[in-house]
Amino acid sequence: MLARGGDRSAFAGLVDLYKDKMYHLAYRMLGSSHEAEDIAQETFLRVYTNLDRYDENQKFSTWIYRIATNLCIDRLRKRKASYSLDAEMPDGEGADWYSLLPSNQPTPEEEVMLSETQEHIRKAIDTLPEKYKSVVILRYLQDMSLQEIGDVLDMPVTTVKTRVHRGREFLRKKLHSEYGGKLF
């Protein structure tokens, strides 16, 4: 790995390759564009200062995702006391990461319904306990395999499976109890 030898252009290439992925991961976990930017920067700072500790026998993507995920979890723990479930959307325009979902050009009415549904799901994800939130985000929003999630979070695949299942059940019950099956 050239970046390990101090090659600045190689490190710049790594930043370029992963900056959007780290930002989106942090944004999905924290729900704040400002915090996501901070976490992305902190991730690359940690990567740069710890390149000598990187084990080239493991995938670089697993290592960098682990750093970013741990930073997000630390941030969530620190702000837990002041965390608000109805925090303002970062963009202020109602846009969120759900708007990135592919669509078949829905009608304006369908868009409103979809937007409301996505908002309900986003709020439900925000209420997930931390141990479920990270695996649900990595599985369904980052589209990682169970093995990759296990590598990132340094836990057995069986634990990941259990947490994904319990996270989904938590979301299903939460959405059903709050919206009485009217959501879908």
Note the pLDDT of residue 108. Answer: 65
Q: What is the reported pLDDT for 176?
A: 82
Q: Residue 133 in 3-state DSSP?
A: helix
pLDDT of residue 139: 87
> Where are the extended beta strands (E) located within 65-154?
none
Long-range contacts of 129-133 (CB under 8 A, 24+ apart): 129/170, 130/73, 130/76, 130/77, 131/163, 132/163, 132/166, 132/167, 132/170, 133/29, 133/76, 133/167
pLDDT digits (tens, 9 = 90+) for 79-138: 755 434 344 445 555 554 444 455 555 566 666 666 777 777 778 888 888 889 889 888
pLDDT the model gives residue 38: 93
Distance CA 27, CA 39 (A): 9
- Residue 114's pLDDT is 63
What does pTM read for this prediction? Answer: 0.56
For 22-76, how does the pLDDT look when each residue is reduced to its tens digit (9 = 90+)?
999 999 888 889 999 999 999 999 998 888 888 888 888 889 999 999 999 888 8
Burial class (CB in 10 A: 0-12, 13-18, 19+), 26: buried
